Amino acid sequence: MIPCAVAEKFSAFFGSRPVLSEISLSFSEKSVTALLGRSGSGKTTLLRSLNGLNDHFAGFRSTGDLSVRLGGILRPVRGPDALPASELRRRVGMVFQNPNPLPLSIRRNMTLPLSLVAGTEGEEAEGVMREAFVKVGLWPEVSHRLDRPAAELSGGQQQRLCLARAVALKPEILLLDEPTASLDYLAAAGVEELILSLKEQYSIIMVSHSFAQARRVADTLVFLSDGRVSAALPVSDVPLGADIGPFLERYL
C-alpha cells in the first residue's frame, strides 16, 4: 500500500489540553478512509492537521511527525521542510460540515480561488469551473444562473458547490469533514455517490458521523477514542448484523 499521509507519534494540543495523543497511522492512496469516533475524540483536529488548518486557531501546538504525499514526495505538514500553507491547502483540499460558499456569486466562488491560488484565469478558469461542476453533477442546475449569489442555492447544492470548488483546484488529497451532516437524506445520498466516484482520482479522508455511511463509502475505517486510535481496519473486517453492537462498544 502506498500511503497518502503518515502520522508518527503525532500529538496535538489546544493550549495545554491534549486533543490527539501519539497517533501513528498511515492513510492509503486513492481510497476512502473514514474517521469515526464520539464527539471530542479528535477526528476533526486530525483532519485539520493534514492541511495545517489548525494553525488558524490560537493556541494550537503539535509534536511528532505528520506528512502528506504530494507529487509523489512525502512532505511534513509543519516545520522548515513543509510547503507554504497556501500551497499545502490547495493540494490538500477540504470540504466542511456546513456548506460554506463565500458571500459571492456562484461563478466567483469558483473563479476566485482558481485565480488567487492556482493562477488560472479567464477562459481557462471558466473551462475548469464547468468541468468541476459537471463532475459533481451541478452543471445543469447552475449553468443558467452563474452570476446569482451562491447563498441562493439549496443546502445540498451548496455542498456540491463546495466539493466542486475543492476539486477545481486539482488537489491530490481531499479532506471531508462530515460532508453530509447538514444535508437531508436525498442530498446526502447524492454526495455519498459523488465521494464514491471521486475516489478513483483522489485520496479521500473523511470524518463521518454515521457508521452506516462510513461502511457504504469507505475502504478503511479508523476509530478514534479520547484522542487515540483504537482501531484501523479494512471495511471487510467489520462484522455484520448482531455483532455490530459489541464491536462499536469496544472501539468508540
Residues at the contact surface with other proteins, assessed by CB under 8 A: 51, 53, 56, 85-90, 93-94, 96, 100, 102-104, 112-113, 116-117, 165-166, 169
Shortest distance in whole angstroms from residue 247 CB to other proteins: 33
Considering beta carbons, is residue 169 or 205 the nearer one to other proteins?
Answer: 169
DSSP secondary structure letter of residue 1: -
Considering beta carbons, is residue 28 or 100 the nearer one to other proteins?
Answer: 100
Shortest distance in whole angstroms from residue 123 CB to other proteins: 20
Q: What own/partner pairs with CB < 8 Å and gap ≥ 24 does 12-17 have?
A: 12/42, 12/45, 12/46, 12/49, 12/54, 12/60, 12/61, 12/62, 12/227, 13/59, 13/60, 13/61, 13/62, 14/45, 14/57, 14/59, 14/60, 14/61, 15/59
Considering beta carbons, is residue 135 or 165 the nearer one to other proteins?
Answer: 165
Shortest distance in whole angstroms from residue 100 CB to other proteins: 5
Strand, helix or coil at 252?
Answer: coil
Cell of 42: 479528535
- Residues in a beta bridge with 221: 34, 233
Between CA 207 and CA 132 the distance in angstroms is 23
Considering beta carbons, is residue 86 or 154 the nearer one to other proteins?
Answer: 86
Tell me the longest C-alpha to C-alpha distance in the chain: 56
Shortest distance in whole angstroms from residue 170 CB to other proteins: 12
Considering beta carbons, is residue 55 or 219 the nearer one to other proteins?
Answer: 55
Cell of 91: 493540494
Between CA 46 and CA 49 the distance in angstroms is 5
Spatial CA neighbour of 126 closest among 102, 103, 110, 142 = 110
Shortest distance in whole angstroms from residue 10 CB to other proteins: 20
Shortest distance in whole angstroms from residue 56 CB to other proteins: 5
Cell of 148: 446569482
Considering beta carbons, is residue 90 or 160 the nearer one to other proteins?
Answer: 90
Shortest distance in whole angstroms from residue 212 CB to other proteins: 27
Considering beta carbons, is residue 110 or 218 the nearer one to other proteins?
Answer: 110
